[in-house]
Amino acid sequence: MPRFPSLSAPTQVLPASILDRLKRRAAEFRGPVIPLHIGDTHLAPPEKSRLGALGFSTGRDADLYRYSPPPGKQALLEALVVKLHRQNRILAAGPDNVQVTVGATHGLACAIRALLDPGEHILLPSPYWPHIRGIAIAAGVRPIEAPFTHVLLRRPGADPEELLEELVTPETGAIYLSTPNNPDGKVLTPDELAKVARVAERHHLWVLSDEVYEDLVHDGRIHTSIASLPGMAGRTVTLFSFSKSFGQAGLRVGYAVGPAGAMAALRKMSHHTVYCVPRAMQRAALMALETGAEFLAEARALYQATRDAVHARLGDLCLRPEGSTYLFLDLSRFRRAGEADALGALERIADAGVLLAPGAAFGHDYGDWARLCFTSVDRPALDEAVDRIIRVLHS
């Protein structure tokens, strides 16, 4: 009988169980439930990239009903190469180094299976995007949590190299990196990335760099891709997505870029899992890339203003995020007698019709925390949600 990796350990299923429990409680609220647990945007995509604007409803374009080349449509691949050169400074990238994927999630799953063997370890700097843990476990790869971005936010003098170095073992094969980070919004500086790179080079590790929030940086910061640093293009697979920058989460278009050997293996994994991303979705993504600059500038300004407004009201609960679309809230002081973590506070907030993502999903050190997405609903609904949260916490 084939043996599959176990997902039964409590720390692996608890976050989903908590969220289901919170949803059931919120469903009993008499009024609209406000979903701040979802990492999405209330904005519609750039106008010219919407499916209706592209004529998909007319049925006139027979090309839409054909298979796409498995790596992606040539026009999209070529446009991505231009973007990668100009914006990310990944100068070694050509069309053969890029794979269009079903969102960055699919790209990461393919990368882990292509580059790591079952039993190897992957370092997960925490707090981390929740799905990466399950992706690793499903591939038979062991996730090793490394307190990281929150340490750097709290202690600006902390050394990223030291934080990672002590957890590297002979079994370690890769480091997962997320910048801007989901959930705490840390944007790694070139100096911090260089120190991560030293660890990867010294121990011959792959870096899987999740950069889906690359365009959503605040306060004039500049996003840097670790693959643009000297010597790192040959050991880094970088994952991007159209979901966050252009509000196209439902279209499920992402892409991966990396060195030729790694991408040949990743392309095989993609080919044998989904074969290709639908042509229609790729066309919408290409149109967003070509026409979405004004949308992105307006969205970035709106998101930063929204961050500022919500942080002004909840700032004593969290550090100021440098990028992404989240506030990571410390609810530890709202525990009541007998409560071991923030679940009780999350339940009381759910009883008031507001859903937050439970902190346990982001690492074993974060049971007292919760993630709030400040872009998932419009401003009036967000303000109402914050009002409810404050009433619950101070009641």
The structure tokens listed for 91 are 């100068």
Same domain, 255 and 314: no
pLDDT, position 115: 97
In a domain, 347, yes or no: yes
- Measure the CA–CA gap between 313 and 273, rounded to whole angstroms: 45
Same domain, 253 and 285: yes
pLDDT, position 304: 97
- Measure the CA–CA gap between 188 and 226, rounded to whole angstroms: 9
Same domain, 139 and 176: yes
Same domain, 299 and 283: no
Which of 245, 263, 290 represents a domain boundary (last residue)?
A: 290
In a domain, 276, yes or no: yes
Bridge partners (DSSP) listed for residue 113: none
In a domain, 2, yes or no: no
Same domain, 80 and 171: yes
Which of 254, 274, 290 represents a domain boundary (last residue)?
A: 290
- Determine the structural domain holding residue 308 and report its residue range: 10-39+294-393
How does DSSP classify residue 249? G
Number of domains in the chain: 2
Report the 10 Å Cβ neighbour count for 6. 8
Same domain, 284 and 155: yes
- Measure the CA–CA gap between 288 and 295, rounded to whole angstroms: 9
Same domain, 89 and 33: no
DSSP-H helix ranges across the chain: 10-27, 74-83, 103-115, 131-138, 149-154, 160-165, 190-202, 243-246, 260-271, 279-291, 293-314, 343-351, 379-393
Report the 10 Å Cβ neighbour count for 280. 17
pLDDT digits (tens, 9 = 90+) for 52-98: 777 765 555 667 788 898 999 999 999 999 999 999 999 988 999 99
Same domain, 255 and 359: no
Provide CB contacts within 8 A for 143, sequence distance 6+: 121, 122, 124, 132, 133, 136, 137
pLDDT, position 332: 95
- Measure the CA–CA gap between 206 and 257, rounded to whole angstroms: 13
| CB neighbour class for 64 (10 Å; exposed up to 12, middle 13-18, buried from 19) | middle
| Residue 194, domain CATH | 3.40.640.10
CB 275 within 8 A of CB 347: no
Of 211, 287, 291, the closest CA to residue 244 belongs to 211
User: What is the bridge-based pairing of β-strands 236-241 and 254-257?
Assistant: antiparallel
Q: Which residues of 203-218 are buried (b: 16+ CB within 10 A; e: fewer)?
A: eebbbbbbbbbbbbbb
Q: Which positions of the chain have pLDDT values less than 50?
A: 1-13
Same domain, 197 and 114: yes
pLDDT digits (tens, 9 = 90+) for 3-24: 334 443 334 445 567 788 888 8
- Measure the CA–CA gap between 142 and 146, rounded to whole angstroms: 13
The residue length of the chain stands at: 395
In a domain, 354, yes or no: yes
pLDDT, position 28: 86
- Measure the CA–CA gap between 326 and 372, rounded to whole angstroms: 5
